[in-house]
Chains A and B, each alone.
Chain A
């Protein structure tokens, strides 16, 4: 019997979902194989231990306050988004107004205008670059680890 088939049957036997025929087929296939017989014993033992694991109940106070916490956090998340958008609009508008006045002022020297333009351009590129890097990292790091075999 192929290894893959043996492993599948072994999983079924360990999980108690194998038919009598499948159990007999597995017993027959691994007879004399130290590796598979050892694995089967170990897997059954692990299954037995985990079957008896009882997780502690949290105190009732956690459950009664659960919804309140979720509600508060949802509310704050919405408030935070609204605040951020508002601040961005206000700051953007202030920057636009300030820069418009700055560039239209004939008393400001051309050298200063070029210097400020370079600084603004640098800031925009920097923010764009950091945002792109963050988005890329969020998209790829999450799935980079594969199952170890």
Chain B
């Protein structure tokens, strides 16, 4: 009986758009929240994966972002797009995670000098994609970029967002998007070395 009502509830909410679902979530509907999670779970996971480069961390961060959405549901303004708001939460989590990871990595590097081990925090490209040598090299270089540079490449190259969409997402001007993209690509080329004309 309960199961049937949940299934009926899910079906009822599936037709609603994101803002309408969030209004339902604000009014305390867990079913609406579930529909929202089901709608964006894959997108959130793959975006997190491209930002942090590790499947386990991406899975965890994407779930954490949904939990933060639920906890902050009262602050959501339904006149703004839900996904942009969700992305702000996810990117802050990803950035904090990478900062903590770099601190952990520095510590691991220091310890590895003592233990003579090779520290590795990110997953190998083979774990997350079908990788040949060129893809491995580009992915490796991408992981060395600063967060903002990596993010702009991810949004343009992998999420295929337009300059305007990126500008809206990041809250910066279109000109700044193009400028940031140029410097990120240049840094990427520098990291890739001779084969890319450097």
Interface residues of A (CB under 8 A from B): 4, 7-8, 10-12, 14-15, 17, 38-39, 41-43, 45-47, 49-56, 58, 62-63, 66-67, 69-71, 73-74, 77, 141-142, 145-149
Contact = CB atoms under 8 A, between A and B. Distances in A.
A146 B149 CA distance: 10
B129 A55 contact: yes
28 contacts: A8-B175, A8-B182, A11-B181, A11-B185, A14-B185, A17-B163, A39-B186, A39-B197, A41-B197, A42-B197, A46-B188, A46-B189, A46-B196, A49-B134, A49-B135, A52-B135, A55-B49, A55-B128, A56-B130, A58-B45, A66-B41, A70-B66, A145-B148, A147-B146, A147-B148, A148-B149, A148-B187, A149-B183
B168 interface: no
Interface string B161-198: 01100000000000100111111011111001000111
A51 B158 CA distance: 7
A41 B197 CA distance: 8
B67 A51 contact: no
Most buried by A among B71, B139, B181: B181
A53 B158 contact: yes
B130 A77 contact: no
A74 B183 contact: no
Contacts, number: 116
Contacts of A147: 146, 148-149, 180, 183
Given A39-B185, A46-B138, 20 more contacts: A10-B182, A17-B163, A42-B185, A42-B189, A42-B192, A42-B198, A47-B157, A49-B134, A50-B138, A56-B129, A56-B130, A58-B45, A71-B30, A73-B64, A74-B67, A77-B67, A145-B146, A147-B183, A148-B187, A149-B183
Interface stretch (B78-86, B92-100, B110-118): B92-100
A63 to B, nearest CB: 7
Contacts of A146: 148
Contacts of A58: 45, 55, 59
Nearest to A62: B59
Contacts of A70: 37, 63, 66-67
A135 to B, nearest CB: 15
